[in-house]
Each structure stands twice: as C-alpha cells, then as structure tokens.
A and B are shown apart, each in its own frame.
Chain A
Amino acid sequence: MNNAAVFTGELRSFLKFFLQELKPRGKWLTPFNVISIPTIILGLIILYFRFTEGLGSVTNLSQQFPFGFWIGFDVMTGVALAGGAYVICFVVYVMRLEKYHCIVKVTVLNGLLAYVFYSGALVLDLGRPWHIINPIIGNSFGYNSVLFLVSWHFLLYMIVLFVEFSPTIAEWAHWEKLRKFLTGLTLGAVIIGITLSILHQSGVGAMFLMAKPKIHPLWYSEYIPLLYFVSSIFAGLSMIIFEGSISHKVFSNLIGEKTHHSHDEIVLGLAKAAAITMFVYYFFLAFIFMHGDKWKFINTPWGYWYLVEVIGFVLIPCFMFAYAVRNRRLGVIRVAAAMAIFGVVLNRQNICLIAFNWYAENRYYPSWQEIVVTLMVVFVEIWVFRWIVTRMSVFSKE
C-alpha cells in the first residue's frame, strides 16, 4: 500500500514535469517551422484519406508496382542512412576509439528516430496495416521468409537502440538509480545491436533476390545483400558528417567547448573511414559487373544511368573524401557526404522503383500526396529530434 502510494506520487510528479517539458521553447516563427508546419498538417489530411479511402486514393501504387516512394525512400533509404548508429557504436565500444565517444548519444538518437519513423512508415504503406503485427505474434508468417527476419530485426533493433539511449532519458527524468542500471546494459545492447544491424541491413537487400526477373540486370545481383550492408556503412558515416555539421551550427549553444574543438578531427576521421568503405563498395560493384559480364548493357540509356550512379555518386565522392582528408578541407567533406547520401538514395530508388519493372510500358511515378507524406515523416522526425536535444543532455557538455 505504502509502495503503491510512493509509485503514484512519483508518477504524478513525472507527468507534471513531462507536461512542463512539452511546452515549446524558443522562437516560433523560424523558416523551418514556416515550411514544416503546413506540410505536416497537409500530410495528416492526406493520411486521413489514405486510411479511410485506401491506398489507391492517394498513391500511384498498383499490383504491378507494389513498392512505391514510401517503401523506397522511407524504409529502404531511411534504414541505410540510419546505419551510422551501429557503425559508431562499433567504433567506440568495440574498437575503443574514444575520440568518437562524444557523438555516440546523438548518433544513437538519430538511429532510433530514423527506425521509429521510417520503418514505422511501413504502417502507411501496407494495404492492411493491422497485419504488421503478424510476424511478431506468429500469425500466418513464413519462418524462412526474409521479411520475417527483417520485421523481427527492426523490432529488436528499435528496442536495443532505445536501451542504448535510455540512460539519457533516465538522467533527464532524474531517475538516478535507473540510469545507473540502464548504463550497465549499454555494452550488451551495443553488441546485440551491431549483430542485428549487419543482418537486417543485408536482409533488406535480400528481399530483392526474389525479384530477379523484375530488376534491370545492371542493378540485380546475387550479392545485393552484401552491397546493401557495405553501402549502409558509408551512408551512415556520411549522414553523421552531414547531420553533425548542421547540428554543430544550429545547436552550437548546447555543445561543450571541448567537443566544439574536436569536431574537425571527428569529421576528418569519419571521412577517412567513408573513403575506404566507398572504395571497397566500388570494387564490389566493378567486380560484380565484370563477373556478371554486363558489358552488353552499358551502351544503353540504362547503362548511362547506371554510370551516373556508380561514378558520379560513389567513385567521385570517394576521391573527394580522400582528397579532403589529406588536405583538411572540411567544406569538400560536407559536399562529398551530401553526394554520398544522394548516391545511396539513388541506388535504393533505382533498385526499388526506377529499374524495377524496367521493361514495363506503364511506369510508376509517385503522386504529390506520396511526396508530401514522406516530407511530413521527415519533418516530424526533425521536430522530435529538436525537442529531445533541447531538453536532454544529448550533446556532450565537455
């Protein structure tokens, strides 16, 4: 009885604190708010029609093109770009490179939000969204399906990322005992998280193995899982550089002086890793191209498009990273990171949409509603990220 009373009192005081924290801080009339608020409202209206009238009312999806912009951008690309979380955790907790410790929390938060929002966007894309729970509760699923592995991994990895980030939440809520307990779980969570990530990053690619006749031969290969995994490493690293550079300016008042000074060294280190990974990725692409004897496709419009992706957004950013690391050119690193991110987006769109059913006369183009809803998901994620970093100690105060 006494314990129950203490718990109720604790819960009440936390709810009061939480409601207090929900109140907005800072200026309302900012360029980001002016763009994002109408987009979010419009997106919610479109979602109302999507759930009441069905997918066909707002999307251009069909039986021939079941994977649209929502899957292609949110799930395929979002998950790859969230790869930075497992890469940084591996670097800090396994390789013990303490230099990067100050960016662990913010990277894990980015990963957590990306998974929650982008894989959560699957709910929008499923014709019968209430069936999303089927693989988890054991209702009508195939044990040997890749999607079974991917769905379980997404769920488990979201839990792992939450456990990794939970000490920061406990610290914010002033739960000191719980924070100590949760901090003790971090290393175990990191190891499970890395294992899960390697498997499901490649698992997302493995889903396309069954679509061999539908994907253009330049993009299809039996090594798609390996390519997806390797590209998720440099996609994650590029995303950390890109987001970190923006956060460094926007939230400069929240970042400690020591971290401010070490920012350049961290970016240079990440760029070096990105250059090497992109080189390995390019080697895999070239080797698969040669081994698959795909020369006959290269002198076609599809071949030129393939070269744009592979040379323009893999090889050139790779050299840009290497040049910039050698000459300490942070501006070039940021441009290379943006190009690498665009390259991964393009690769996923090519496999999922553009080169999918490439022979079909009727092509799929995303409707404006699909684009608005995707922007809405991105903006809501940024809003939640901003709310968390301005309230919890996410950035290193040192």
Chain B
Amino acid sequence: MEYYSYVNIFETKGLAYILLICFLVLGILLIKYLSAPEKKDSSAAERKPRT
C-alpha cells in the first residue's frame, strides 16, 4: 500500500512562490485601483458657493 508523504512548505520555499503569486495579483489590483477614474473631491464640492 502506498502512503502519501507531505512536504514541508517552509523547506521547499513553497511559501515564497505562493507569496510571489499573491503579490502579482495584488499588484495588478493596486494599479487598477489607482488607474480608475478619480472620485470627485468632496471637500471642494462642499466649498462651492450656494446660488
């Protein structure tokens, strides 16, 4: 009968690869977040004189 032997993720540096993928995804999300049309300046809108 065959047994599974699990590898240690710390020893294989598997965690480093997972981190790399996570940061790649987060980096794309950050750039998308920063590139989206800016929200209007709420404080500037408040300063507008009332007509």
Contacts and interface: CB of A to CB of B under 8 A. Distances in A.
Interface in B2-45: 10, 13, 15-16, 19-20, 23, 26-27, 30-31, 33-34, 36, 38-42, 44
Interface of B: 10, 13, 15-16, 19-20, 23, 26-27, 30-31, 33-34, 36, 38-42, 44
B16 A290 contact: yes
Contact of A326 (B19, B31, B36): B36
A276 interface: yes
24 contacts: A268-B38, A272-B34, A275-B30, A275-B34, A276-B34, A280-B27, A283-B23, A283-B27, A286-B23, A287-B16, A287-B20, A287-B23, A290-B13, A290-B15, A290-B19, A291-B16, A293-B10, A322-B30, A322-B33, A326-B33, A326-B39, A327-B38, A327-B42, A328-B40
Contacts of A287: 16, 19-20, 23
A322 B27 CA distance: 12
B30 A276 contact: yes
A293 B16 CA distance: 10
A251 B3 CA distance: 75
A291 B13 contact: yes
Nearest to A279: B30
Contact of A325 (B13, B19, B34, B40): B34
Nearest to B40: A328
Contacts of B27: 279-280, 283
Interface in A266-287: 268, 272, 275-276, 279-280, 283, 286-287
Which 5 residue pairs across A and B have the least CB separation, nearest first? Answer: A283-B23, A328-B41, A290-B16, A291-B16, A272-B34
Interface centre among B16, B33, B36 (most CB of A within 10 A): B16
A327 B40 CA distance: 7
Given A286-B23, A290-B13, A326-B33, 7 more contacts: A276-B34, A279-B30, A287-B19, A322-B30, A325-B34, A326-B39, A327-B42
Interface of A: 268, 272, 275-276, 279-280, 283, 286-287, 290-291, 293, 295, 322, 325-328
Nearest to B23: A283
A347 B16 CA distance: 23
Contacts of A276: 30-31, 34
A286 B18 CA distance: 12
Contact of A328 (B20, B33, B39): B39
A268 B35 CA distance: 12
Contacts of B31: 276
A280 B30 CA distance: 11
Contacts of B39: 326-328
A283 B24 CA distance: 9
A283 B41 CA distance: 31
A137 B24 CA distance: 48
A326 B13 CA distance: 36
Interface centre among B15, B34, B41, B42 (most CB of A within 10 A): B34
Contacts of B15: 290
Contacts of A328: 38-41, 44
Contacts of A275: 30, 34
A275 B16 CA distance: 23
Contacts of B19: 286-287, 290
Contacts of A295: 10
Nearest to B17: A290
A202 B36 CA distance: 33
B27 to A, nearest CB: 6
Contacts of A280: 27
A295 B13 CA distance: 13
B17 to A, nearest CB: 9
Given A276-B31, A286-B23, A293-B10, A326 B16 contact: no
Contacts of B34: 272, 275-276, 322, 325-326
